[in-house]
């Protein structure tokens, strides 16, 4: 309230009628001319004429703009910083908001802290959330998993100005990193969604920005990356869980696949953004097959062909996911519904890019994990353990090729449109329904799924989880401490007839799992691949248990009171009494409400109507 803010600034207020009066801080005032209306939360000085709302008060008091004034109010800074005589400033140069950056940290930490601050701002901005909804990406899981953020300019408000020694030093570093602009000091990613990239250790090393609007102003960029070398990967976790990767052109396209349930996806940074980091990750994790899902435009086609030639030369199979001409993955997913099924169709109709016939694939291989499965599941395990999920949430045949349009079938729609005078990249306003399109023969890229694997011999009891596989028994402790989806740090003991190994590790860290595999395989005298498969199964089981625990912790506690048998009998006796109305009026009278029988019954009926779809009001 303005009354609170005025008193906090040392202004003595006296009441005159419904308003409060005090000395105005914005001009020499000897007789109280500042009026505050507590009910409307407005102020007006009859001496100098200043007036406005609580936001205007903070703007004039601290010398800040409207956005920063709102942030100060949200943080209750006008009250926290109160005390002493009133002091008004024309323009604030000392930050009043707490800064999320460690001025003494290294560059990587500064980038990470900036990205995490932006992540915390996303849900406070309705425009950013509306843009994500427009793109079909309203997934809390995706927002938290990828640390998606939004730049609303507020980070700059927390950093000292350049006229301060520490402000000049930190701003110079942030300018070199590409967080702040050199000339204006404004944030480079202002008005953009941000998606961090991660290194092998799970640390943030890069930052991608995408303008949260399709209408660009003069000089505005649609995409932005930190200057210098493009570092890190989007969705690095995918590489450790499968030998097949869906490669998109941009992060929002990759998110489209991920949100639809296809978790083995990553992206380059534009058509020319396939970096050495991608090449190193492909080689390190033994990626055998890449499905290129670049935009279906001239630049996307040329880049896909060039990349396929490079990857094929490295012995990696390449397929091209073909969207209708002029479309990217996100356009297609929003237009061809249901999204999960339509993307599955596009994946399984991918076109072989190598010479000659497509390589024959074993019966256990699939083109991508089906929706709803955990990241840790390999592509073959995914299809083997669960049927595909249709758009209506019902299980269907594991192969999405049935009833699916081939890429050529989707192209024919565009060709027909061209003959009728419609541009190739024109998009119909009516959604395309996959089941309404012709059914082709399954291509070579659509294998027959393997038989389901037996259920895991896993059990949880007495604060520990036990998994038995092939004479090896894994015991996990400390799972109950992991109440965040970003962490799965546990103590793991594995024993067999040969030996025993114990370690504490974060199961979500690929590097820590690799270290465990090497040490455990040496202790148990078995291959690293054996322990690798065990850890994959264990990770799936632990994530299921963790999900259940978090959901249970977040679920509201039941509030329905239990009725005793005696109370129920008394209630039914009253309900069936022919003198029910008389007894109700008599009970009210016993509590002092006398002569108001009609009103008490009316109030009672209204309160009971809460059980109805349209309750009564009094």
Give me the phi and psi of 301, to 5 degrees please.
Answer: -65, -45
DSSP state of 207: E
Q: Helix, strand or coil for residue 504?
A: strand
From CA 369, how far away is CA 344, in angstroms rounded? 9
CB 195 within 8 A of CB 253: no
Q: Cα–Cα distances in Å, from 473 out to 4, 340, 458, 534?
A: 64, 37, 10, 10
From CA 188, how far away is CA 219, in angstroms rounded? 12
Average pLDDT over every residue of 399-409 = 34
- Is pLDDT above 90 for 156? no
Q: Tell me the pLDDT band of 387, cut-offs 50, 70 and 90.
A: very low
Nearest-5° angle of CA 297, CA 303, CA 411?
35
Q: Cα–Cα distances in Å, from 74 out to 43, 77, 113?
A: 20, 8, 21
Q: Among 31-35, 220-224, 248-252, 546-550, which range has the highest average pLDDT?
A: 248-252
- Is pLDDT above 80 for 517? yes
Q: What is the pLDDT of residues 418-476, one digit of tens each?
A: 333 333 333 344 444 444 433 333 333 333 334 344 445 678 888 899 998 888 999 99
- Is pLDDT above 90 for 491? yes
- Give the pLDDT confidence score for residue 14 in this predicted structure: 92
Take residue 264 and report the two structure tokens written for it.
Answer: 């083995």
Q: Tell me the pLDDT band of 328, cut-offs 50, 70 and 90.
A: very high
Helix, strand, coil percent values for the chain (each to nearest 5): 40, 15, 45
Please list the alpha-helical segments (H only) found in 203-353. 251-259, 276-284, 298-313, 329-335, 339-348
Which one is predicted more confidently, 63 or 285? 285
Q: Is the dihedral of CA 576, 582, 588, 589 positive or negative?
A: negative
Q: What is the pLDDT of residues 272-300, one digit of tens each?
A: 999 999 999 999 999 999 999 999 999 99
Please list the alpha-helical segments (H only) found in 75-106. 77-80
- Give the pLDDT confidence score for residue 595 in this predicted structure: 87
Nearest-5° angle of CA 520, CA 525, CA 529?
65
Beta-bridge mates of residue 320: 292, 351
- Is pLDDT above 50 for 4? yes
From CA 368, how far away is CA 383, in angstroms rounded? 8
Range in 37-51, 311-325, 544-558 the model is least confident about: 544-558
Beta-carbon contacts of 508 under 8 Å, excluding residues fewer than 6 positions away, are 202, 237, 486, 487, 488
From CA 539, how far away is CA 302, in angstroms rounded? 39
Q: Helix, strand or coil for residue 182?
A: coil
Q: Tokens 């006796």 map to which residue?
A: 573
- Give the pLDDT confidence score for residue 291 in this predicted structure: 97
Instruction: Give Cα 564 distance to the centre of its chain.
Output: 46
- Give the pLDDT confidence score for residue 555 in this predicted structure: 77
CB 242 within 8 A of CB 379: yes
DSSP state of 85: S
Quick check: pTM over 0.75?
no
- Give the pLDDT confidence score for residue 66 in this predicted structure: 87
- Give the pLDDT confidence score for residue 75 in this predicted structure: 75
Q: What is the pLDDT of residues 346-372, one digit of tens each?
A: 999 999 998 887 886 544 444 444 333
Q: Cα–Cα distances in Å, from 579 out to 109, 576, 598?
A: 76, 9, 15
- Is pLDDT above 90 for 477? yes
Question: How many CB atoms are located within 10 Å of the residue 229 CB?
Answer: 11
Q: Tell me the pLDDT band of 408, cut-offs 50, 70 and 90.
A: very low
CB 515 within 8 A of CB 502: no
DSSP state of 481: G
Q: Helix, strand or coil for residue 177?
A: helix
Omega within 30 of 0 (cis) for the link into 293: no
- Give the pLDDT confidence score for residue 88 in this predicted structure: 55
From CA 382, how far away is CA 392, in angstroms rounded? 20
Q: Cα–Cα distances in Å, from 412 out to 338, 444, 611?
A: 21, 21, 56
- Give the pLDDT confidence score for residue 446 in this predicted structure: 36
Average pLDDT over every residue of 516-540 = 89
Helix 580-590 to helix 597-608 angle (10° resolution) is: 110
- Give the pLDDT confidence score for residue 427 in this predicted structure: 39
Q: Tokens 């250790």 map to which residue?
A: 201
Range in 107-121, 132-146, 438-452, 525-539 the model is least confident about: 438-452
- Average pLDDT, rounded, for the chain: 81
Q: Tell me the pLDDT band of 571, cut-offs 50, 70 and 90.
A: very high
DSSP state of 468: E
- Give the pLDDT confidence score for residue 299 in this predicted structure: 95
- Is pLDDT above 70 for 94? no
Average pLDDT over every residue of 505-517 = 91
Q: Tell me the pLDDT band of 374, cut-offs 50, 70 and 90.
A: very low
- Is pLDDT above 50 for 3? yes
DSSP state of 591: T
Average pLDDT over every residue of 171-184 = 91
Give me the phi and psi of 10, to 5 degrees please.
Answer: 90, 15
Beta-carbon contacts of 398 under 8 Å, excluding residues fewer than 6 positions away, are 366, 370, 383, 387, 388, 449
Q: Tokens 């998994």 map to which residue?
A: 467
Question: The sheet that has 192-198: what strands, in order across it?
Answer: 149-150, 192-198, 204-211, 223-225
Closest Cα to residue 343, out of 367, 311, 316, 373? 367
CB 473 within 8 A of CB 200: no
Q: Helix, strand or coil for residue 252?
A: helix
């Amino acid at each position: 309230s303005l009354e609170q803010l005025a008193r906090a600034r040392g202004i003595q207020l006296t009441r005159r009628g419904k308003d409060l009066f005090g000395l105005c801080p914005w001009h020499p005032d000897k007789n109280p001319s500042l009026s505050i209306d507590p009910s409307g939360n407005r102020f007006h000085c009859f001496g100098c004429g200043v007036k406005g709302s609580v936001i205007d008060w903070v703007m004039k008091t601290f010398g800040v703009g409207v956005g920063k004034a709102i942030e100060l109010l949200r943080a209750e800074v006008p009250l926290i910083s109160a005390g002493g005589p009133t002091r008004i400033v024309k323009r604030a140069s000392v930050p009043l908001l707490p800064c999320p950056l460690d001025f003494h940290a290294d560059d990587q930490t500064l980038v990470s802290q900036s990205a995490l601050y932006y992540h915390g701002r996303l849900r406070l901005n309705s425009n950013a959330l509306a843009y994500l909804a427009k793109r079909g990406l309203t997934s809390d899981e995706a927002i938290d998993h990828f640390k998606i953020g939004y730049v609303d300019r507020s980070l700059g408000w927390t950093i000292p100005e350049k006229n301060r020694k520490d402000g000049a030093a930190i701003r110079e570093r942030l300018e070199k990193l590409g967080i702040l602009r050199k000339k204006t000091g404004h944030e480079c990613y202002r008005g953009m969604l941000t998606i961090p990239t991660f290194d092998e250790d799970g640390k943030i090393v890069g930052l991608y920005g995408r303008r949260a609007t399709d209408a660009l102003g003069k000089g505005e960029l649609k995409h932005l990356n930190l200057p210098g070398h493009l570092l890190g990967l989007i969705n690095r976790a995918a590489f450790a869980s499968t030998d097949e990767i869906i490669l998109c052109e941009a992060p929002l396209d990759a998110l489209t696949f991920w949100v639809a349930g296809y978790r083995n996806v990553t992206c380059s940074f534009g058509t020319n953004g396939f970096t050495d980091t991608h090449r190193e990750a492909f080689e390190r994790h033994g990626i055998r097959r890449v499905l290129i899902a670049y935009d279906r435009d001239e630049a996307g086609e040329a880049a896909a062909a060039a990349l396929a030639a490079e990857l094929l030369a490295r012995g990696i199979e390449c397929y091209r996911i073909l969207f209708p001409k002029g479309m990217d993955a996100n356009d297609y997913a929003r237009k061809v519904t249901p999204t999960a099924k339509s993307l599955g169709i596009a994946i399984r109709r991918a076109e072989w890019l190598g010479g000659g016939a497509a390589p024959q694939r074993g019966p256990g291989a699939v083109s991508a994990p089906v929706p709803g499965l955990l990241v840790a599941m390999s592509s073959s395990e995914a299809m083997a353990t669960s049927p595909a999920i249709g758009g209506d949430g019902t299980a269907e045949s594991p192969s999405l090729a049935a009833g699916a349009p081939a890429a050529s079938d989707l192209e024919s729609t565009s060709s027909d449109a061209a003959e009728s005078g419609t541009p190739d990249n024109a998009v119909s306003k009516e959604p395309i329904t996959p089941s309404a399109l012709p059914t082709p023969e399954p291509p070579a890229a659509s294998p027959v799924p393997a038989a389901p694997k037996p259920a895991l011999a896993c059990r949880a009891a007495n604060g520990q989880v036990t998994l038995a596989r092939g004479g090896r028994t894994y015991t996990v402790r400390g799972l109950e401490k992991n109440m965040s989806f970003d962490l799965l740090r546990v103590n793991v003991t594995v024993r067999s007839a040969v030996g025993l190994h114990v370690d504490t590790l974060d199961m979500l860290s690929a590097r820590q799992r690799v270290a465990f595999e090497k040490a455990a395989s040496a202790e148990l005298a078995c291959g690293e691949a054996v322990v690798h498969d065990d850890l994959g199964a264990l990770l799936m089981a632990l994530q299921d248990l963790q999900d259940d625990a978090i959901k249970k912790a977040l679920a509201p506690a039941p509030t329905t009171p239990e009725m005793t048998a005696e109370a129920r009998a008394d209630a039914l006796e009253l309900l069936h009494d022919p003198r029910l109305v008389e007894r109700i009026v008599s009970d009210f009278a016993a509590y002092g409400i006398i002569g108001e029988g009609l009103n008490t019954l009316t109030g009672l009926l209204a309160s009971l109507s809460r059980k109805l779809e349209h309750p009564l009001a009094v």
